[in-house]
Amino acid sequence: MIINTLQFIENNDLHIFKITSDTENNLTVENGRLIIIESSNKNKVAQPFLIGVGERFEIHKNKKYFIKSLVPNTRISFSNHFNLAKEDDEYIQKLFTDIDDYYFGYEERYKKVYDIGADLWETGKPNKSLLKAFRKFPNIFKGKVIDLGCGEGRDTIFLYQQNIDIQGIDISHSAIEKAKEKIGNLNEEKSIFSTGNVLYLNRYEDETFDLAMNMGCLHMINKNSDRLCHLQNVSRILKTGGYFLVDHCKSEWGKGFHTIEDYEQVKEQLKDFHKENYIDRMVLVNGEKIKIPLKVIPYLEKSKTDLIKEITCFGFEVVETFETDTESFGNSTLALFRKTP
């Protein structure tokens, strides 16, 4: 069957489909999210890609791809005609088992916060760790900069206002739309923001950026395989000699957060993200602080020593580290790395 668009509907999301194309093609997620796996030799590990609203994926001619919806009513479109068939092969079925889309929990969170009338989830001010780095290392904010996991864009917008050539990317299309709204209020370009999964960074070519910032995003990637994927791609998109700025929680996740009213009351719940677990978070709606139950999303605490060891495995050297404790990231390590030749 050859068609232009595809609509996954409720109760149909358990099926896996094979897609091929006779021409170079672009798949775009219009609603929902899905998994894409490119066909490869059975002896080679297949790389799944999890993509959400607004993201594009290149479909190359004469190659096979397998897709599966992650949520009901996922809708995708294509730039050209494509071929679609249901796939029942057991080997292909196994490729899709145990794939976890936990990182999309941020889209669910932002959407819920906006639905109750909040203007922002976080404060609109740049985070204190970024300001510290900006004052300490002004020379690293030169050339092309990318803000990985930019959320509502507060850090990206701040740097843009300092005439930095910066782009922001986040998995939550709701947060990205909010970021575009905020920068639009400044009568500026909105194109610096993109929806995308920071694990793959597949919209960016090799050695594109002079500085990559991961401010409170890496500690929300808790699976080792996902962290490996992310760090490999950060190294890939950075120029040799480029910098990688990271703020990563060390311990007591949630302590001091401005959205948590009483850390001692919820600290044990914060550790239990292996099941449906919700805690009250403080959100500002029309100038008033209100409580809203939000799901605890997976995170990973890591000591400074272990963080340095992990990141330097990907061709980085340490420039400097700081101990930080902020209302955004809590007890953290702020570290600056440089990509070595």
Strand partners, 159: none
What pLDDT is recorded for position 126?
Answer: 94
Q: Round to the nearest angstrom and report the end-to-end CA distance of the chain.
A: 49
Higher pLDDT: 127 or 47? It is: 127
Do residues 74 and 54 make contact, with C-beta atoms less than 8 angstroms apart?
no
Confidence of residue 54 (pLDDT cuts 50, 70, 90): confident
pLDDT at 37: 92
pLDDT at 99: 84
Stretch 17-21: mean pLDDT, rounded? 92
User: Confidence class of residue 13 from pLDDT cuts 50, 70 and 90?
Assistant: low
Dig out the tokens for 6 from the structure: 């595809």
Mean local confidence (pLDDT), 47-68: 90
Question: Whole-number mean pLDDT of the chain?
Answer: 89
Higher pLDDT, 140 or 55: 140
What residues does each domain of the chain span?
2-99, 105-339
Model pTM score:
0.89
Q: What is the DSSP letter of 102?
A: G
What integer pLDDT is reported at residue 10 of this predicted model? 47
Asked whether the predicted pLDDT for residue 97 surpasses 90, the reply is no
Mean predicted confidence (pLDDT) in 168-181: 94
User: pLDDT at residue 216 above 80?
Assistant: yes
Secondary structure in 3-state letters for the chain: CEEEEEECCCCCCCCEEEEECCCCEEEEEEECEEEEEECCCCCCCCCEEEEECCCEEEECCCCCEEEEECCCCCEEEEEEEEEEEEECCHHHHHHCCCCCCHHHHHHHHHHHHHHCCCCCCCCCCCCHHHHHHHHHCHHHCCCEEEEECCCCCHHHHHHHHCCCEEEEEECCHHHHHHHHHHHHCCCCCCCCEEECCCCCCCCCCCCCEEEEEEECCHHHCCCHHHHHHHHHHHHHHEEEEEEEEEEEEEECCCCCCCCCCCHHHHHHHHCCCCCCCEEEEEEEECCEEEEEEEECCCCCCCCHHHHHHHHHCCCEEEEEEEEEEECCCEEEEEEEEEECC
Rounded average pLDDT over 135-162: 96
318 or 92, which is more confident: 318
Lowest pLDDT segment from 6-10, 77-81, 182-186? 6-10
d(CA 132, CA 119): 26
Closest CA to 102 of 154, 151, 37, 52: 52
Query: Quick one: fold of 2-99?
Result: Jelly Rolls (2.60.120)
* pLDDT band of 6, cuts 50, 70, 90: low
Q: Which of 140-154, 176-190, 303-317 has the lowest mean pLDDT?
A: 176-190
- pLDDT for 91 equals 87
* Range 263-272 average pLDDT: 88
User: Which CATH class name applies to 105-339?
Assistant: alpha beta
Q: Which of 14-18, 41-45, 96-100 has the lowest mean pLDDT?
A: 41-45
